[in-house]
Structure 1
């Protein structure tokens, strides 16, 4: 990641003056006032006015709109300012004297989020020199540190998701987590391989991963600070590539399936970020990892699968595989880890996009307080979600004559029914559980605000904001 420094004096390069819609001249002068007099929407969040100043210092001036002056506006201003200058041009942001720490955190997040480049891309990571000018740098040091930890976790989630499936098999993913954890004191990782998964009864994970030449893994990463009184378990779907199995996808449906482990990437980013921030809350991240492949050993439509908790599922669609691996992990979480809260993230259904479009995740929970806390965390972090219902009458869709439940009924309400299926594995913890179906917002088809083209790392920053709030 590139550095963002707090300074007290003006530096070279492009100068940015953040401005809200009611005070567009914050930090400006008479020349700036005249330039802005006829400008279009100079204070709109994310709007950037560029003013060349030949033979003068600074040689270029940007006015970046922060809208209402909330975190979303400051984040949009940071992202827009970074995109408005060449990669090799220093960027100097002049902070208003009354800037709040939360605003500076959001500004820095916008700069870092928009500056992301996939680590293995030919062009390499973006190199840029960014400074924030203020007379009180100490007031913003913590905000900058929190923003950096959040951005690093999000960048990692994006990197993991963007990595091609030719490299990113379950073993590779697990090795990345082990390597990242080794750099953080107090973070431990356990990786279960095939024999242990079989001995402990992770039948859903073994079924889904059984058709691949690269066997499945279950990664359990734990942040357990001394004195923590609350335990949050995060579960993330980790299908490193999804062909659809024997119920094979068409080419168009398969070409982006390297992103089908976006939930696992997000929860791993979150537990690493919690360790970096030394949050006083216990966090366990469970990433069931498998490649859903086509071969003679692939599981078949009509198979009966026995899960970790001993219950069975009838699966007639091998392309509804994510819920099978999550079922094992959720059962294991409530059966052994004694969590206070369970949150799972999954690129689970295309129905998510049908219902809510490409920028909004579906939120499911029986717990109004938990749902409200996650929604608020997402709003503050800049990740949208919308709560959908869990109607009991739809549970009849899960009925099976052959097993305890049907994992892939085809009677409609696809995202809702998938959530109801997962809830079956929570036991008496179902009231302290939330499910986020985030298939659509996990990927961006083009650069958009603080999102790059490609993997967005959706969920990482929301989870870190939530964990920070409950540990405050």
Structure 2
């Protein structure tokens, strides 16, 4: 991973990066860009050369625009002009990602930042670390050469906490991507447990408990057991607790952890099944965010629950029409074994409400294809009855560079959950799949109904291409938003 260092002046000038911005409104779409005034200006010769390049190269300064100029025999040897758009965090994040990709064959670069650099530093750091992410299970092609980035700022000491927050956020997002990208030939529930145990090892303020199948049976986690019973790899329930002494708020995070989803007996077609290693992206996100909160010493108690199971086809798999008895006693009828995520989430949420007494409950899940039908590939679907809670979490998600849209919980759709055989129907054929899934989960929130948020993040959990800080494959969606929101609860 890249080493990013704050310095008050250039210490090594082989490749120098200068930020540029659009000139401003009223100048026309083809107006040349302008150099951003940096805390440590480059030499007069370099400054004059950069200013001459702007109109000649027809640069506009849009975020992520990049032009390299070679200077043989001079210092620096390479001059890079990097567009940062309007200079907000999103623009700097896109710029950092573009720079990471363009400079992958360099070993060291120096980036000049403006005097008021907190926003720029956070965006640039996250962009560099996320844009340079690669997941490969082969050595072919080699790793990027770029290893060191010096960032020139006016006061390195004052900006050190910003760098730490950005780096931790990016590292935890990369962890969630790694967990999600890993093929399911390796990734079963026990493998997932081992990865989390390794990450937690040596951190005394984090408490990890793992319930195995016998314990799940004894305690009545019928939804997790039903979904996992068709697999040779038994289900698990991970409970990870971060409990700092100064915490005033307790939030429970729940993440869907289906390590592979065939659809069960209601088997998926091949095109829909081929990426189902990503069906545990919600669990990866909430666990990585909790590790990040502990690393940053956030003063909020977080209990994270990750119900883990493989939804497989076998003679022991649960059947359409089965009745599932969930933790706490509620029963559900399912006529579609591919609607499995809500069954494991229901158990974890009921347990959280009845046993952990949190102040807030948030679940993240790659729950429905209807999420993408409603909102496309970039937005998660957010559900909550609490206007302020929804607004706060949406604001944090947006500030982090992710995206979500609040969806309704219509009262007249509740009738779709009716069952003649059980308390609830878990997979009604209503045509509003994401909405009815949220309404089903709401039935397990008890007296936390007005302090609960559900995010269906199936669509944005995966990217088909490199785009700004996203790389092709798992996005780690949710980690960044949670790590912006959690500090506001302290």
Bigger shift: residues 5-14 or 400-409: 5-14
Relative distance call for 1:269 and 1:124 in structure 2 (3 A) is farther
- 1:18 maps to 19
The structure 2 residue matched to 1:427, chosen from 416, 431, 446, is 446
Mean CA deviation greater in 112-121 or 75-84: 112-121
How many Å apart are 1:125 and its aligned residue?
A: 5.1
- Specify the alignment match of 1:374 in structure 2: 393
- Deviation of 1:54 after TM superposition, in Å, equals 2.4
Q: Distance in 2 between matches of 1:222 and 1:124?
A: 38
* Structure 1, 234-243 or 411-420: larger mean CA deviation: 411-420
Is structure 2 residue 113 aligned with structure 1 residue 100? no
More deviation in 175-184 or 118-127? 118-127
Q: Helix, strand or coil: the match of 1:195?
A: helix
Do 2:238 and 2:305's aligned partners in 1 also have CA atoms closer than 8 Å? yes
Deviation at 1:368, TM superposition (A): 0.7
| Shift in Å, 1:151 | 1.1
Listed one character per residue, the Cα deviations across residues 251-292 of structure 1 (whole Å, up to 9, x for unaligned) are: 111100000000000000000000000000000110000000
Task: Write out aligned runs for 1:103-142 (5 A).
Answer: 103-118=120-135, 120-122=137-139, 123=141, 126-128=144-146, 129-142=148-161
Q: Report the counterpart of residue 389 of structure 1 in structure 2.
A: 408
Residue number in structure 2 paired with 1:144: 163
Structure 1: distance between partners of 2:357 and 2:462: 33
Distance 1:185 1:103, change over 3 A: farther
Query: How many residues are matched?
Result: 470
1:194 aligns with 2:213: yes
Find the aligned partners of 2:365 and 2:266 in 1 and give their Cα distance: 20
Q: State the 1:3 CA deviation.
A: 0.9
Native 8 Å contact 1:117 1:126 kept in 2: no
CA contact (8 A) 1:42 1:63 kept: no
The aligned counterpart of 1:354 is 373
How far 1:124 sits from its partner (Å)? 6.1
Task: List runs of 5+ in structure 1 lacking aligned partners.
Answer: none
- 1:127–1:184: structure 2 CA closer, same or farther, 3 Å change rule? farther
Distance, in Å, in 1 between the alignment partners of 2:144 and 2:254 is 32
Which of these residues, 20, 31, 48, is aligned with residue 30 of structure 1? 48
In 1, Cα distance between the equivalents of 2:6 and 2:412? 56
Matched, 1:48 2:58: no
- Tell me the distance in 2 between the aligned counterparts of 1:121 and 1:374: 38
Which residue does 1:82 correspond to in 2? 100
Give the whole-Å Cα distance in 2 for the aligned partners of 1:190 and 1:455: 27
User: Residues of 1 paired with 2:160 and 2:55: CA distance?
Assistant: 35
Measure the CA separation in 2 of the matches of 1:443 and 1:188.
30
Distance 2:202 2:79 in 1: 40
Deviation (angstroms), 1:70: 1.1
The 8 Å contact of residues 190 and 236 in structure 2, kept in 1 or not, is answered as: yes
Are 1:322 and 2:341 an aligned pair? yes
Kept in 2, the 8 Å contact 1:2–1:127? The answer is no
CA contact under 8 A between 1:118 and 1:125: conserved in structure 2?
no
Unaligned runs of 5+ in 2: 24-32
Greater alpha carbon shift after TM alignment, 437-446 vs 80-89: 80-89
Task: Indicate if the aligned counterparts of 2:331 and 2:424 stay in contact, CA closer than 8 A.
Answer: yes
TM-score by length of 2: 0.93
SS in 1 for 2:34: coil
Give matches, 1:435-450, under 5 Å.
435-450=454-469
Matched with 2:306 is 287
Could you tell me whether the CA contact under 8 Å between 1:203 and 1:328 is conserved in 2? yes
- Paired with 1:284 and 1:124, the residues of 2 have a C-alpha distance of 39
Q: What does residue range 251-330 of structure 1 map to in structure 2 within 5 Å?
A: 251-330=270-349
- Superposition deviation, residue 68 in structure 1: 1.5
1:163-209 C-alpha deviation (Å, 9 max, x unpaired): 11011000110111111111323011000000100011000000000
Moved more, 353-362 or 48-57: 48-57
The whole-number CA distance in structure 1 between the counterparts of 2:210 and 2:352 is 15
Q: How many angstroms apart in 1 are the aligned matches of 2:127 and 2:485?
A: 19
1:233 and 1:333 in contact (8 A); partners too: yes
Alignment of structure 1 residues 187-226 onto 2, 5 Å? 187-226=206-245
Cα–Cα, structure 1 residues 17 and 254, in superposed 2: closer, same or farther, change >3 Å?
same
Measure, in 2, the Cα distance between the counterparts of 1:69 and 1:46.
11
Structure 1, 402-411 or 6-15: larger mean CA deviation: 6-15
Q: For residues 253 and 235 of structure 2, what CA distance do their matches in structure 1 show?
A: 19
Q: State the TM-score, normalizing by the size of structure 1.
A: 0.97
How far does residue 119 in structure 1 lie from its aligned partner after superposition? 6.3
Displacement of 1:38: 4.1
Deviates more, 1:339-348 or 1:118-127: 118-127
8 Å Cα contact 2:107/2:145 also seen in 1: no
